Structure formats: C-alpha cells, structure tokens
Amino acid sequence: MTTGGDVFSTFVEAEVKPERERRASLDTRGVAILTTSGTLLTLVFAIGAIVTALTPRRNRHSPDTWTGRICDRRLLWIDGQPAQEI
C-alpha cells in the first residue's frame, strides 16, 4: 500500500516535468532572440558607419559656419593677441 506522500510526490513530479521542459524551451528561444537582435544591431551600426564614412560632408569648422567663426583663430585670443574683426 502506498502512502499519501508517495502519491503526492508522484503527482508533483508529473506536473513539474512539463514545466521544466517548457522553461528550457523558452530559455533556448530567449537566447536565440538575444543573439539575433545583437547581430542585427551590430549590422545596423556597421552600415551606418559605412554610409557616414562614404557621405561627403562639409567641414563643420569652415569659416562660413558659426562654429567655424567661433573656432577661427582670429576671433579667439589664442596667440596672446586681441581678437580681430573679420
């Protein structure tokens, strides 16, 4: 004759086994999704870097831009001389 504990233990094991299998399946799928998303993100950044490198851009510090005027040596007091007007 079996005791109530043995029956309950068998019942719990029968219920827990599918849940453990389900969790293992979900863990595997989660790792696959993370790996795929990381790879896609890397590719997107690589494509962005390539496009940025191939796109001709004007110099941000050229004299015709406001940053160029600020960075222009004639406007700053870098060399010990007062700033000159352009």
Could you tell me where the beta strands, DSSP code E, fall in 1-86? none
pLDDT at 41: 96
Show contacts of 64-71: CB within 8 Å, 24+ apart. none
Q: How many residues does the chain have?
A: 86
40-51: average pLDDT: 93
| Per-residue pLDDT, 84 | 55
CB atoms within 10 A of CB 78: 11
> What pLDDT does 53 receive?
82
Q: What is the pLDDT of residues 3-35, one digit of tens each?
A: 888 888 999 999 999 999 999 999 999 999 999
Q: What is the pTM of this model?
A: 0.49
Residue among 72, 73, 55, 53 nearest 63 (CA): 72
